[in-house]
């Protein structure tokens, strides 16, 4: 069956109207690589074929890098178009909001899909895309902040009665219609060794304890089995990176 053509297809415009959409999506930028990109390409094309008897009504523009090109990554073989981003770690390409927005504008896409990982948990991306009338295929900025942030998501969970382990923000609760997520994070975050030791004492946090970075330069998550070594561990991480850090500590569950 020939391409329906988004501009002239009453069927597609009626479909968009039926589901209260604002406009048909003709071009999508896939700001991810590997499995996330492949699943997006295959799944949406299968749905388009089933819904409209053709998969060509949407064009997919994939972000490539010199590294991905050298590796002949499979997702690039499935792309309708490839647009290049800088070589290097993901902070230079797939996780870089400035790069993604710039490429989306350059490719003149209607929507951006990020999948999981990389920039998917960065609330700035949907906000920036909205400024350019580009659809973000994913949750809203507020939803990303609420569920993607380690500290805020734990506060929300304990505020609605879900059991949580003892941690440094145990007393912080979210009020109905609360929107100041930054303020909540501030109340529950530890930034110094002294604040950490105070939380351990106040909430009776035992060992082994888990120390999780929320921002800054801590290296992911690590576990400490001796409270006496907590100060050495935390100080060492800060000195190693030479930057301000923040995060939370919690007792490890079985």
Q: What is the mean pLDDT of the chain?
A: 83
Band the pLDDT of 248: cuts 50, 70, 90. low
Is there a domain that residue 5 lies in? no
pLDDT digits (tens, 9 = 90+) for 140-158: 888 887 777 778 888 989 9
Q: Is the pLDDT of residue 2 over 50?
A: no
Total tally of structural domains belonging to the chain: 2
pLDDT at position 241: 45
Higher-pLDDT residue of 192 and 245 is: 192
Helices 97-107 and 124-131, interaxial angle, to 10°? 30
Domain of 232?
149-251
Which of residues 129, 146, 163 is at a domain's end? 146
Considering the domain architecture, whether residues 129 and 164 belong to the same structural domain is answered as: no
pLDDT at position 73: 95
Is there a domain that residue 214 lies in? yes
Considering the domain architecture, whether residues 51 and 128 belong to the same structural domain is answered as: yes
User: Which residues are paired to 83 by β-bridges?
Assistant: 63
pLDDT at position 251: 59
Q: Which residues contact 240 (CB under 8 A, 6 or more apart)?
A: none
Considering the domain architecture, whether residues 181 and 164 belong to the same structural domain is answered as: yes
Which of residues 146, 166, 190 is at a domain's end? 146
Q: Is the pLDDT of residue 215 over 60?
A: no
Which of residues 123, 146, 169 is at a domain's end? 146
pLDDT at position 25: 93
Considering the domain architecture, whether residues 107 and 30 belong to the same structural domain is answered as: yes
Considering the domain architecture, whether residues 132 and 154 belong to the same structural domain is answered as: no
Return d(Cα 95, Cα 162) in angstroms, integer.
32
pLDDT digits (tens, 9 = 90+) for 169-207: 889 988 877 767 778 888 888 878 888 888 888 888 887
pLDDT at position 250: 66
Considering the domain architecture, whether residues 213 and 187 belong to the same structural domain is answered as: yes
Considering the domain architecture, whether residues 73 and 155 belong to the same structural domain is answered as: no
């Amino acid at each position: 069956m020939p391409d329906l053509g988004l501009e002239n297809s009453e069927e597609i415009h009626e479909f968009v109207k039926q589901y209260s959409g604002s406009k048909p999506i003709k071009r999508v930028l896939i700001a991810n690589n590997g499995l996330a990109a492949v699943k997006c390409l295959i799944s949406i094309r299968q749905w388009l074929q089933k819904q409209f008897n053709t998969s060509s009504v949407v064009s997919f523009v994939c972000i490539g890098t010199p590294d991905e090109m050298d590796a002949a990554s499979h997702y690039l073989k499935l792309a309708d178009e490839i647009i290049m981003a800088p070589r290097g770690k993901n902070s230079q390409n797939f996780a870089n909001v400035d790069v993604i927005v710039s490429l989306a504008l350059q490719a003149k896409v209607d929507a951006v899909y990020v999948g999981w990982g990389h920039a998917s948990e960065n609330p700035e991306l949907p906000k920036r895309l909205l400024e350019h009338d580009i659809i973000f295929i994913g949750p809203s900025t507020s939803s990303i902040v609420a569920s993607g942030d380690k500290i805020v998501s734990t506060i929300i969970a304990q505020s609605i009665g879900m059991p949580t382990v003892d941690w440094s923000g145990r007393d912080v609760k979210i009020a109905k219609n609360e929107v100041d997520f930054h303020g909540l994070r501030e109340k529950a975050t530890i930034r110094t060794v002294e604040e950490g030791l105070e939380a351990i004492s106040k909430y009776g946090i035992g060992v082994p304890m888990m120390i999780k970075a929320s921002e800054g330069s801590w290296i992911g998550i690590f576990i400490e089995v001796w409270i006496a070594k907590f100060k050495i561990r935390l100080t060492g991480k800060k000195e190693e990176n030479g930057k301000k850090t923040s995060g939370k500590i919690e007792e490890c569950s079985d």
